[in-house]
Structure 1
Amino acid sequence: MVDSETLSTLETRLSDVVGEANISTSVSDMILNAHDAWPLSEARIRAGELLPTADIIVYPATTQEVAEVLVIANETGVPLTPIGGGAGTCGGTLPIYGGIQLDLKRMDRVLHIDHESLTVTAEAGIVGIELEEAVNRHGYTTGHTPTSLRASNLGGFIATRSGGSMSSLYGKIEDLTLGLEVVLPDGRVIECKALPRHSVGPDLKNLFIGSEGTLGVITRATMKLFPVPEKRSFRSMCFPDVHSGLGAIKEILQSGIFPSVVRLYDPNDTAMSVSVHFDVEEGDCMLMLAFDGLPDKVDLEERISADICLKHGAKDYGEGPSKRWWQHRYDMYYPTKFTTAGYSIGDTIDIVATYDKLEDVYHSMKAAREAHDAV
């Protein structure tokens, strides 16, 4: 927390940069900006605790304003925490040291769509669904659809090294990001030019992808675009266990087929998310697949993938479960009576492993959860 004299200085200097209407010391604003979607934050709020708040929130509209705010933070020695949509699940936007909270939601413009190179340049504060709908109107997709798409923004995707539900085909955010504009902690602005690759030397944009706002503030990005697929088909295959499901997935991907969606639900997830809508035997594991592209390609990839799944002991459930998941794919991110009643905490942990270790990681994580009576 900053003292009253420093706070008064901040209010004056920050108002000179962004305008008096674009700073706030309102208690309600501080509380609303004091948490993201971190389950422990939600648990503390339900317990009646107040989370750490900033001393002042500033809402810049341009890269230059962001740079000037960072200069002020440096000169006054005040901590600064960037925040975008506040949809992260790790507590990264919590202003645990007080100080300035830099809220980027005003920086929400699509700046340029390059129809020749198939790229889009946008400001970091644009909400994911707004960016997706903007490029959809031109016949394109970003290919990046995390469950938080309606609540998170472009800068947050990049700062958290985000993965989307279609990353098996289109790539994760590090694959989709071509160029960045970043304001360094001392206020200098750097540009990592939008290029498909560098012929020599390191690609500096990778320093900031996944940096969680600790190395600089991302203010704009240039991203890949893809034509909206002519066809998207869905297929649902149910396996007797996780082992056979993983085996089928490995064979599909290693055969050179990359479905747009690959989601394997273990018996618990299948029971909670699928069995309530479809007749699935207890203990089975549902694999949800989707295929994007030209009709002939989609049909061929779906047929080959289904044959591989059947070879691994799957039962064919057609498009039903996968299509229903697609239609409701954003629902799980938002509060429900179950998640807000005070009886549960839900979290998602991203895990990466090679195929030879993947099943061991699954069973180890499952055992660790069950040791604490978690499901």
Structure 2
Amino acid sequence: MPHTVKGVIARAKGAPVELTDVVVPDPGPGEAIVDVQACGVCHTDLHYREGGINDEFPFLLGHEAAGIVSQVGEGVTNVAPGDFVILNWRAVCGQCRACAKGKPWYCFNTHNAAQKMTLADGTELSPALGIGAFAAKTLVHSGQCTKVDPAAPAAAAGLLGCGVMAGFGAAVNTGGVSRGDSVAVIGCGGVGNAAVAGAVLAGASKVIAVDVDDRKLEWARGFGATHTVNGRTEDVVERVRELTGGFGADVVVEAVGRPETYEQAFYARDLAGTVVLVGVPTPDMKVTLPLIEIFGRGGALKSSWYGDCLPSRDFPMLIDLYRQGRFDLDGFVSETIGLDQVESAFTKMHHGDVLRSVVVLDKAGA
């Protein structure tokens, strides 16, 4: 029978979020119910609240989550009740043209649950990124569940569900950072610092963190950045070139999503270098670059969607690295909060006070 749990919704554009009753139906074919243990507060959730994704209100927010599978529907074989899982928003279909080409990390037809969670009055909810995990339980497609080592704490593990994976993957999967490379990362919030950590783990010899906030640059040093550049007081392109023998970085990860920082990334890379855009721009933003410069510099200009990750491959690997002490997921957790503190977490995020606030479901208000 359906479950009624507390969840955080955005009822209207720009309105403060609400903690209210959410009805979770029993799982249908191919679906699973996950008892959420922890869920990070991501910028994407704020974009949903502000109407920046679409206008399908009300939204059930939250998507960077980990928890325990409690029920599965007919035909589910990849997970079973009791499994500890990280939720992902790229449940690959295995049949689209990307999957058929052997590139499932570009899957164009990812799965979500067919049924809808609702409010107590029957109003259907739109789950953020097909997940909706600011709730004690959530209904997802079973393919959105990636089983990992249960020894990992949920507050850290869940961050792989979005921001940390996006940043790590931007450097390692999309950017192809390898041993001895020089890397610059522009924007050192949660995604950017995950790119820093990924570049370090991949063996980069020089990792240059760029931001306008000294606090974020200090966080980047904690994740292994060898140099920092404050774009408020220094010329970013000039300084990155200076730190790389006058050439520019082999890989530049742009984790802001603005035209001016993308232009910095373009000119801060070496000849035949790679620029990776992982920061999310708004639809109105445009960038203008001389075509002769694009031609003459060679290399690659790439965008990275979810870090070009394959959850079934990347989540267990990163949890193993975390368990070995080689990848500091704990370092991304600035604070743990209850469901009733999501609105204040948005404020802290907006002010740059945290890398990640993480809702833990045994906290007050959860």
TM (normalized to structure 2)?
A: 0.26
Q: Which has the larger share of helix?
A: 1
TM (normalized to structure 1)?
A: 0.25
Q: Which has the larger share of strand?
A: 2
